[in-house]
Amino acid sequence: MREEKRISLKHYGLIDPDQIEDYLEHGGYQSLQKALSQPPAAIVQAVKDAGLRGRGGAGFKAGIKWGFTLQTPAEQKYIICNADEGEPGTFKDRLIMEGDPHLVLEGMAIAGYAVGASKGYIYCRGEYPYIVKRLKRAIEQAREKGLLGTNRFESNFSFDVEVRMGAGAYICGEETALIESLEGKRGEPRSKPPFPGVAGLWGKPTVVNNVETLAAVPWIIEHGATAYQQIGASRYPGTKIFTLTGDVARKGFCEVPTDVTLRELVYDFGGGVAGGKKLQAVQVGGTSGAFLPESLLDTPADLDSMAAVGGTLGSGAVLVVDETRDLVDLAVTIASFFKHESCGKCTPCREGTFQLHRLLEKISRGQGSRQDLETLERLMWIMTQASFCGLGHTAPTPILTMLQYFPDPFNNRVNSQAG
Amino acid sequence: MDKLQAIVDQYQKVPGGLIEAFHAVQDEYAYIPEEALRRLAKAFEVPLARAYGIASFYSYLSLKPRGQYIIRICKSAPCHVKGAAEVVKTLEEELAIRMGETTPDQLFTLEFTECVGVCAETPVITINGEPYGDLTSAKVKEILAQYRQPQ
């Protein structure tokens, strides 16, 4: 059986998250010390060499992002920690911040030093008020120890962090929408380019990284890029936290090398399907993720292997769906989510998510026609091609993959239409 | 509204602090009263329409009065498959109100929410941000009883 390897969760459950002394006794802030003894470009290079890719879902190379910001001259630059995890079924960032808030602060400080930023923001979702409190306490403690704030380590580098609370908008997980929200506006995504690395928060060069990404940075500095690069899948190295939800025997989480297979996740870590029932589908990557059948369970969960079978890694949320569940009903629930969360900026997404929900609900009630299914397919194609940002691009993914791998429930519902 | 002035004073100078100010207003009043919206729009030098546009954009912010305890029921897929509908039914029956409504004594408001990130304990509700998981009808009744006791 596959074993866990904890990098982002290395202190989870082992230290008192409200005591900075505990973190320091476990080697905390040593990686920052080590980083400060090297030139900033060397730190960016180490993150590049490690092959660290974003853990929020898009999988962009962190070192490349950092490189953009390092190379852009500016008096003020920012690090933003994206803690707006809104993908249903995902709670990995909460686990990290809950169990080890200083690890996130240390990762941010190292990023700040590497790119020349003196200020960091943690944008934490509004659903986690208790985490906001914990983070604020951790920042206070780090300031008292002289680890955050000015004149740290008798070096010229200073870095401070502020926590901002989101207000219940899934779209703010998109980095430019998040920046808009941090600026106190509606969270609507911006046109790219310019990318945040060049012009982000208040127009300044800004690195936006997910909590889990930043939490891997201290380990990389401590153990070296090569050690990290050798873990898991070669093109998406390191570990990933997966959250197991739905009809799985043991709901919960695990942090494992990225070459773990879906079968290992569901059966070894999750204990299989709850109540001795049969597996119908797994949805990997959160509510915007693909529904996959049993026959694809031996696929490694890393981003590229998943993409190769038409799947997604996304946030690493794994929703197990047993044989008794009505997939059409689940499709309506998912479509309702996207209808609610579309920010309304662009027509393909605003109207597309609305119509997607309307058509699926109609089909679910047994009032849909074959024509409705065809309209649905065309609508989803338009959404994936013409939406402004990732929300509209990925909202059809769960429905498209349901229709691809599990067409029967939909066809049956349409065929049962009277008259 | 002296408390409101304190909030204005505290957040006015915070760059991009309008949403933080909205949160502070809600902590005080459970929603954003029109007076607060007007004062904050002025303090942050944005047109009232834009302040309204921001306040109405975010599902966590409410422009409608709400009860002392805001109960939010997750309706995202992981909670949906694990029986969120049953939780809704129990809450509506116990409080004799429908989703979106507030009890006549102004104690409870029922709202839907999307995922609150407590998905290993589905189905989940939050009461003023505090999560309660692995819910059954019986457990929901117990939790309500705790909140009904004078505190």
So what's the pLDDT on residue A406? 98
Share of chain B above pLDDT 90, in %: 97
**Among B39, B36, B15, CA closest to B27:** B36
What ipTM did this prediction achieve? 0.96
Please identify, in words, the CATH class of the domain defined by A239-322. alpha beta
Q: Is B13 on the interface with A (CB under 8 A)?
A: no
Distance from the Cα of B97 to chain A's closest Cα (Å) equals: 23
Name which CATH class applies to A20-231: alpha beta
d(CA A230, CA A228): 5
Do A246 and B76 count as a contact with CB atoms less than 8 A apart?
A: no
Cβ atoms A22, A141 nearer than 8 A:
no
DSSP track, A219-269? HHHHH-HHHHHTSEETTEESEEEEEEEESBSS-EEEEEETT-BHHIIIIII
Give the residue-averaged pLDDT of B102-110: 97
CA angle A317, A322, A327 (to 5 degrees): 85
CB count in 10 Å sphere of residue A44: 23
Q: Is the peptide bond before B104 cis (omega within 30 degrees of 0)?
A: no
Q: B30 in a domain, yes or no?
A: yes
Please indicate, yes or no, if residue B86 is contained in any of the structural domains. yes
Both tokens of A292, joined, read 């996959």
pLDDT band at A332; cut points 50, 70, 90: very high
Query: Do B52 and B108 share a domain, yes or no?
Result: no
Residue B110 sits in the same domain as residue B43: no
Predicted local distance difference test score (pLDDT) of residue A418: 47
Residue B62 covered by a domain: no
The verdict on a CB contact (< 8 Å) between B129 and A87 is no
For position A415, what pLDDT does the model report?
78
Mind listing the pLDDT tens digit for each residue in A204-257? 999 999 999 999 999 999 999 999 999 999 999 999 999 999 999 999 999 999
Q: Give the residue carrying structure tokens 């304190």.
A: B6
pLDDT above 90 (res A155): no
The 3-state DSSP class for residue B91 equals: helix
- Statement to judge: residues B36 and B91 lie in one domain: no
Q: How far apart are CA A166 and CA A182, in angstroms?
A: 8
Give the pLDDT mean for A62-91. Answer: 97
Q: What is the spatial distance between Cα A287 and Cα B77, in angstroms, rounded to a whole number?
A: 7
Q: Do the domain assignments include residue B64?
A: no
pLDDT at B114 over 60: yes
Candidates B33, B39, B32; CA nearest to B11 is B39
Q: What are the pLDDT digits (tens) for A33-43?
A: 999 999 999 99
Q: Residues B49, A345, A210, A249: is their CA dihedral positive or negative?
A: positive
Query: By three-state DSSP, how is residue A199 classified?
Result: coil
Cβ count near A380 (within 10 Å): 19
Residues B42 and B75 in one domain: no
**Same-domain check for residues B143 and B74:** yes
- Looking at residue B1, what is its pLDDT? 57
A168–B58 C-beta distance less than 8 A: yes
Quote the minimal CA–CA distance from B143 to chain A in Å. 19
In this model, does residue A151 exceed pLDDT 60? no
Residue-range domain boundaries for chain A: 20-231, 239-322, 327-415
Q: How confident is the model at residue B136 (pLDDT cuts 50, 70, 90)?
A: very high
Alpha-carbon torsion angle A100, A24, A104, A67, nearest 10: -150
Q: Are A273 and A320 in contact (CB under 8 A)?
A: yes
Q: Do both B143 and B89 map to the same domain?
A: yes
Give SS3 for A120: strand
Task: Note whether A241 and A316 are within 8 A (CB).
Answer: yes
Cβ–Cβ under 8 Å, residues A315 and A350:
no
Residue A319 Cα to chain centre, angstroms: 15
What count of other Cβ atoms lies within 10 Å of the Cβ of residue A296? 19
pLDDT cut 90: percent of chain A above it: 96
For residues B51 and B18, state if they share a domain.
Answer: yes
Q: Which two tokens stand for residue A177?
A: 């929408």
DSSP, residue by residue, A62-92: HHHHHHHHHHS--S--EEEEEE---STT--H
Chain A residues whose beta carbon lies within 8 Å of the beta carbon of residue B113: 127, 168
The pLDDT assigned to B151 comes to 60
Structure tokens at A224: 């070296």
Bond preceding residue A193 cis, omega within 30 of 0: yes
Q: What is the CA radius of gyration of chain B?
A: 17
Buried b (16+ CB within 10 A) or exposed e, B114-129: bbbbbbbbbbbbbbee
pLDDT at A79: 98
Residue B89, in any domain of the structure: yes
Same domain, B21 and B85: no
Cβ-defined contact of B77 to A330 (cutoff 8 Å): yes
CATH number at residue B107: 3.40.30.10
Would you state the torsion angle of the CA atoms of residues A271, A274, A277, A280, taken in this order, to the nearest 10 degrees?
-80
Looking at beta carbons, which residues of chain A come within 8 Å of B75? 333, 336
Most A CBs within 10 Å, among B45, B99, B116, B132, to test the A interface: B116
- Distance between CA atoms of residues A322 and B82, nearest Å: 11
> Hey, which CATH number is domain A327-415, 1.20.1440.230, 3.40.1170.60, 1.10.287.40, 3.20.20.70?
1.20.1440.230
Per-residue pLDDT tens over the stretch A276-330:
999 999 999 999 999 999 999 999 999 999 999 999 999 999 999 999 999 999 9
Number of structural domains found in chain B:
2
Assess whether B50 and B16 both reside in one domain.
Answer: yes
Q: Cβ–Cβ of B58/A169 closer than 8 Å?
A: yes
Same domain? For B91 and B33 the reply is no
Q: Are B103 and B126 members of one domain?
A: yes
B77 and B133: one domain? yes
- As a whole number, mean pLDDT of residues A341-345 equals 97
Of B26, B57, B88, the residue at which a domain comes to its end is B57
Is B110 part of any domain?
yes
Q: Give the span between the Cα atoms of A405 and A400, in whole angstroms.
A: 9
pLDDT at A419 over 60: no
- Whether residue B48 is contained in a domain is answered as yes
37-96 of B, contacting A, C-beta below 8 A = 44, 53-54, 57-61, 75-78, 80-82
Domain that holds residue B50: 2-57
Assess contact for A146 and A101: CB atoms under 8 A.
no
